[in-house]
Structure 1
Amino acid sequence: MKKTCATLSAIAAVAVLAGCASGPMMGSKPFSQADLPGPIQVPSGNRVAWETVGAGDITYECKDNAGKVEWVFAGPNAVLTDRAGKTVGKYYGPPATWEANDGSKVTATQLAVAPAGAGNLPYQLVKANPAMGSGAMTGVTYIQRVALKGGVAPDMPCNAMTRGQKTTVKYQADYIFWKAA
């Protein structure tokens, strides 16, 4: 009987831990945009629908841009995970596309950016275009890029001799998806 109780207790503990890993994180607070710069705050009448973390690479290309040779943003390639760390989609481009594991996806138009600290991509607010396919991206109105780490153009020579070269840099950002309330 003791062995059976111990086994059942162990199974129950594993089940509880598995439930915690797949469900909402304990102690996590709902996303608040109160501390974000005004230009990237989502207008009222929208609610947070999905919080993800994007981690991956930003590709830059050394090329002519407005009369000078410099590193120019060429596109992202990141995995999107939920707050529990489960892969839920991807972010890639061009054009910038957020795609859920269910196949639904959106592109968007940039509305605003704001500085997010030295060495980090800027905060960003985009207005979503109508979703392609049906699923998690259906009805998304806005996407915010917040909690940024890295992703800026490389600190290496970009000149006539290196024109055409591409390089990638690591980055991480939270992507907050909004839908009409």
Structure 2
Amino acid sequence: MKRAGLVLVSATLIGIAAGGVGSTAAPTPAAMDTSDLRVAPAVQVPSGNKLVAKFYAKGVQTYTCTAGAWKGLEPAATLADRLGRAVALHTRGPIWVSTVDGSAVEAAPVDGARNEVPGAVPELLLKAKSVRGDGVFGKVSYVQRLSTKGGVAPGGACQEGAQTSVHYEALYAFSAPAR
């Protein structure tokens, strides 16, 4: 079953990156305007950190049926810069990997640091567990998932082992120590 999931995620990421039919290709710059973005207090980055990058993500949240209910399995998304150029991939871990410089960050949700969004996956504050490389993600301390749209697990019963992917969009903001 793990191999099938890997194939699903690989195929999804390839489709996203290629911008194929039904893909979640990079958004237009107008769609990424964040000048009026309000961040809920629950997902604010602690003082002593500064914003180092913001990327808009389009992709899927994949769910698997366990004990008759849909449970989150993994995200698969492409992140784009403000010009709409694909610059990173977001996968299980959760992990973000730059396709420009190879740097990466793996993070975990901060307990209680979530903001519920009607009809969408919640906004989150995540703290870095590990980083790799000297590029854009190399010194990241916190990741915020903001301005979420879609991605909510289907309602109702499901067949054990079934999987489904639900389109979502989000703005990911990456912060690093201010020193």
How far apart in 2 are the matches of 1:174 and 1:120?
A: 13
List runs of 5+ in structure 2 lacking aligned partners.
Answer: 1-28
List runs of 5+ in structure 1 lacking aligned partners.
Answer: 1-24
How far apart in 2 are the matches of 1:46 and 1:31?
A: 20
Does the CA contact (< 8 Å) of 1:31 and 1:48 recur in 2?
A: no
3-state DSSP of counterpart to 1:140: coil
TM-score between both structures, scaled by the size of structure 1: 0.74
The match for 2:4 is none
Counting only pairs closer than 5 Å after superposition, residues 37-76 of structure 1 correspond to structure 2 as 37-64=40-67, 69-76=68-75
How far apart in 2 are the matches of 1:166 and 1:173?
A: 22
The offset of 1:156, in angstroms, is: 4.9
Q: Does 1:96 align with 2:94?
A: yes
Q: Does 1:176 align with 2:173?
A: yes
The offset of 1:129, in angstroms, is: 2.1
How many percent of aligned residue pairs carry the same amino acid? 35
Does the CA contact (< 8 Å) of 1:150 and 1:171 recur in 2?
A: yes
After superposition, the C-alpha distances for 1:90-146 in whole angstroms (9 at most, x for unaligned) are 0011x2110011111111121121112x21000100011231233111110100000
TM-score between both structures, scaled by the size of structure 2: 0.75
Does the CA contact (< 8 Å) of 2:69 and 2:156 recur in 1?
A: no
Size of the aligned set, in residue pairs, is 146
**Aligned pair in 2 of structure 1 residues 100, 38: CA closer, same or farther (>3 Å)?**
same
Give the aligned residue type for 1:99.
V
Give the aligned residue type for 2:152.
V
The offset of 1:79, in angstroms, is: 0.3
After superposition, the C-alpha distances for 1:45-94 in whole angstroms (9 at most, x for unaligned) are 11110010110011000112xxxx2000000000010111011110011x
The offset of 1:29, in angstroms, is: 7.5
How big is the alpha-carbon RMSD for the aligned residues of Structure 1 and Structure 2? 2.0
3-state DSSP of counterpart to 1:139: coil
The match for 1:119 is 119
3-state DSSP of counterpart to 2:42: helix
Q: Does 1:157 align with 2:157?
A: yes
* Bigger Rg, which one: 1
How far apart in 2 are the matches of 1:156 and 1:100?
A: 36
How far apart in 2 are the matches of 1:31 and 1:129?
A: 29
How far apart in 1 are the matches of 2:168 and 2:82?
A: 17
Where do 4+ consecutive residues of structure 1 move more than 4 Å? Answer: 28-33
The match for 1:77 is 76
User: Which moved further from structure 2: 48-57 or 131-140?
Assistant: 131-140
How far apart in 2 are the matches of 1:136 and 1:32?
A: 24
Does the CA contact (< 8 Å) of 1:40 and 1:113 recur in 2?
A: yes
